[in-house]
């Protein structure tokens, strides 16, 4: 399929056998999604057309790569084929940087995006530390609509208490403005600057989005960042500036973590291939109606193997961060989360800091 189920209905189907061997091999180190993607919300009216194209090309193995909505699509396609008496084997392959797919320890794409986030916040935090007489705070906004996995991953490169990030705000913990400002002031008093990481979909205690965006996409989801015309980071920036009169920056990466091939982790490279290969094996065996999963067996040493979960249990569902991964005050992560994330992102660089010993007469 070229550009997902949306263009499949237009018979936009390519033959990968016509690609040369080197191209296929180098796909493993090429950013983005070579086959293309779409944001088409599958309608019941689409299903007869999909079945028609499947029959026309005699397609009997049907695999789709993606997140929650993709799993819903392939589940519904399988159900429609069964009702129409068309024999087909359907398999879901997990892939989402948000890491909110139900039933799998993590999703391919997440480890690399997590490393991108951790390095960006660490490096941005060093700059903020050294520029604290110019800018007193910095806010980094990560993608992740309903779950804080990526925002939380920013803590993975932290070595000492004063390192960035100081505060992590995630959708799983509604934000209280007064508590937030108290924590900001405490961090400033303790470290001389404040490094804040927030998820794009964070909410206030009344359930409204901090971003104040009201624009929705085809799936009925609130649009964040550029598409929404506003952002949580921008609103938090205004709140801090208004309260303390400080100068600061906010950074919104949008889709950059989705295509950062230069920061690809070896675990991610290996497991993305692994789940794809396992998907092919399952369809050949006639196993249908499942998504391939990653099941972690050990952290030290890191050991993960494939499994399966029924598509009906994954479709449209979201996997939030477990309570045990979130600090009691809701503004950081626990050691359990650090144990979870570190094997995925690989060894992090270590940077030096001047002792800054004053000259004496």
Tell me whether residue 98 is one of the annotated catalytic residues: yes
Q: Which helix (H) or strand (E) holds 53?
A: helix 47-56
From the candidates 46, 69, 72, 98, which is the catalytic residue?
Answer: 98
Taking the C-alpha atoms of residue 75 and residue 284, their distance in angstroms, rounded to an integer, is 18
Residues composing the chain? 361
Q: In degrees to the nearest 10, what's the CA dihedral of 95, 258, 115, 339?
A: -30
Nearest to 38 by CA among 76, 73, 7, 75: 7
Nearest to 286 by CA among 37, 88, 45, 1: 88
Taking the C-alpha atoms of residue 58 and residue 331, their distance in angstroms, rounded to an integer, is 53
Taking the C-alpha atoms of residue 31 and residue 276, their distance in angstroms, rounded to an integer, is 16
Please state at what angle helix 110-130 crosses helix 266-284, rounded to 10 degrees. Answer: 160
SS3 assignment for 82-112:
HHCCCCCEEEEEECCCCCCCCCCCCCCCHHH
How many CB atoms neighbour CB 85 within 10 A?
A: 6
Phi, psi of 65 (to 5 degrees): -110, 130
How many CA atoms does the CB half-sphere of 151 hold within 13 Å? 38
As given in the structure block, the two tokens for residue 92 are: 């879901």
CA angle 185, 202, 344 (to 5 degrees): 95
How many CA atoms does the CB half-sphere of 224 hold within 13 Å? 25
Compute and round to an integer the Cα radius of gyration of the chain. 22
Taking the C-alpha atoms of residue 131 and residue 129, their distance in angstroms, rounded to an integer, is 6
Active-site residues, by number, are 98
């Amino acid at each position: 399929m070229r550009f997902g189920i949306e263009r499949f209905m237009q018979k936009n189907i390519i033959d990968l056998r016509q690609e040369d061997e080197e191209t296929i091999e180098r796909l493993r180190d090429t950013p983005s999604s070579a086959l293309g993607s779409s944001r088409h919300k599958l309608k019941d009216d689409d299903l007869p057309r999909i079945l028609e194209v499947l029959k026309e090309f005699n397609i009997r193995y049907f695999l789709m790569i993606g997140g929650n909505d993709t799993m819903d699509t392939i589940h519904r396609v399988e159900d429609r084929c069964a009702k129409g008496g068309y024999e087909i084997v359907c398999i879901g392959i997990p892939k989402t940087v948000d890491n909110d797919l139900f039933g799998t320890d993590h999703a391919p794409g997440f480890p690399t995006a997590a490393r991108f986030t951790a390095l960006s916040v660490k490096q941005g935090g060093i700059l903020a530390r050294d520029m604290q007489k110019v800018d007193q705070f910095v806010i980094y906004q990560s993608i992740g609509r309903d779950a804080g996995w990526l925002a939380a991953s920013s803590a993975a490169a932290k070595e000492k208490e004063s390192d960035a990030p100081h505060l992590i705000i995630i959708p799983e913990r509604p934000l209280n403005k007064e508590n937030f400002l108290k924590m900001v002031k405490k961090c400033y008093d303790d470290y001389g600057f404040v490094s804040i990481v927030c998820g794009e979909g964070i909410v206030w205690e009344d359930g409204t989005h901090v971003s104040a965006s009201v624009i929705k996409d085809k799936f009925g989801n609130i649009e964040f960042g550029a598409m929404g015309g506003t952002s949580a980071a921008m609103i938090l920036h205004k709140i801090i500036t208004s309260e303390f009169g400080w100068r600061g920056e906010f950074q919104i990466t949008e889709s950059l973590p989705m295509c950062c091939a230069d920061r690809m982790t070896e675990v991610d490279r290996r497991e993305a291939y692994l789940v794809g290969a396992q998907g092919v094996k399952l369809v050949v065996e006639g196993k249908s109606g499942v998504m391939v999963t990653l099941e972690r067996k050990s952290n030290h040493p890191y050991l993960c193997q494939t499994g399966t979960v029924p598509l009906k249990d994954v479709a449209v569902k979201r996997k939030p961060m477990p309570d045990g991964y979130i600090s009691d005050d809701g503004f950081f992560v626990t050691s359990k989360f650090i144990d979870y994330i570190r094997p995925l992102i690989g060894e992090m660089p270590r940077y030096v800091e001047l002792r800054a010993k004053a000259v004496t007469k």
